[in-house]
Amino acid sequence: MIEEEVEDLEELGEDEPEQEQEMYEHFRLEVDPGQNLLRIDRFLVDRLPNVSRTKIQEAAEAQCVQVNNKPVKSNYRVKPKDIVTLMLPHPKREIRVIPEDIPLNIVYEDDYLLVINKEPGMVVHPSYGHYTGTLVNALAWHLKGNPLFKENDPRPGLVHRIDKDTSGLLVIAKTEEAKTKLSSQFFHKTSSRKYVAVCWGNLENDNGTIIGNIGRSISNRKIMGVFPEGSDYGKHAVTHYHVLERLGYVNVVECVLETGRTHQIRAHFKSIRHPLFNDPEYGGNEILKGTTFTKYKQFVQNCFTLCPRQALHAKTLGFEHPGTGKWMDFNSEIPQDIQQLIEKWRGYVANRELEDIE
């Protein structure tokens, strides 16, 4: 199980006196039980979005990369259950969780947990560049007095996350016991989640499975790349999908995650050349299928305006209640922007005969 504490790292200024350069722990990770032997510099660069491999190697030379509290070289091969820490001469900047009175769509709440239907555009937890306006800021207001929601903990109660522009269901723990039990379910894949998405193109089969390691893109560290299954780069990832509706140049699909990696659905569908509709980071905000007619281009642009984000919604969520042991299922409506997008494509298909659909 990997537990990451990822902080924004800044270069130490050249004019800063050496005697003031204390060492601080910026990252702490526990290696997954199923992790293959892998060089520690590759292991870290795969998991830390803001740190280059060169910087990690320099840190190792300076004895700032440790495994189980002992310095290691950059060619050390991590093993399951290793505790890896990266130390750098710059203190972590504290992120305070400021309670904010932000409306939440709460679909269920009791003494143990609450289930939120997150709106698109809302960041889940505070991070650098997103200090306020997050789901956690709203929860800190809603759960004033809850000891779990401490001012200096940017991820209280969180057991899973969804992207800023992805909408849908999230469960939030209200006690430490609930957080432990719910986190265990997500880690051991005994919880249940289904997503609905609109992707570009006409998928060859009604049912399919995408398998490929997911790790930070080599060419663009802000997004995730998909690498061959079994390679020593990235983490094993499996996405199952079922085509719900074929709408000519786009398909509506249901996705079930066998693993839960960052940007998993978005990266996997990009890898099979069917990126999610209007996903700017994975190329879905371009006209990838269809005709060259001006009217068609305008139609697609209108669709982009109608749904100004990746068309992805976390529709269902199921888990065992941490207090009662009872199985709980939640289902959310497809949000208006995605529903209107689907209706618009239905109208297009109904009124036009499509040829040579790929």
Active site residues: 163
Amino acid identity for residue 9 in this structure: L
Q: In the beta sheet, which residues pair with residue 113? A: 173
Q: Is the Cα torsion angle 157, 161, 163, 167 positive or negative in sign?
A: negative
Within the chain, how many helices (H) and strands (E) appear? 7, 17
For the chain, the maximum distance between any two Cα atoms, rounded to a whole number of angstroms, is 74
Q: Which residue has 């074929």 as its token pair?
A: 246
Chain centroid, CA 279 distance in Å: 14
Angle at 165 between CA 200 and CA 234, to 5 degrees: 75
Which helix (H) or strand (E) covers residue 253, if one does? strand 250-257
Beta strands at 167-173 and 312-320: parallel, antiparallel or unpaired:
parallel
Amino acid identity for residue 157 in this structure: G
Angle at 296 between CA 291 and CA 297, to 5 degrees: 95
φ, ψ of residue 58 in degrees (nearest 5) = -65, -40
> What is the spatial distance between Cα 341 and Cα 299, in angstroms, rounded to a whole number?
11
Question: DSSP assignment, residue 104?
Answer: -
Q: What is the DSSP string of 188-215?
A: TT-SEEEEEEEEES--SSSEEEEE-EEE
Q: Which two tokens stand for residue 255?
A: 């996705």
Which helix (H) or strand (E) covers residue 317, if one does? strand 312-320
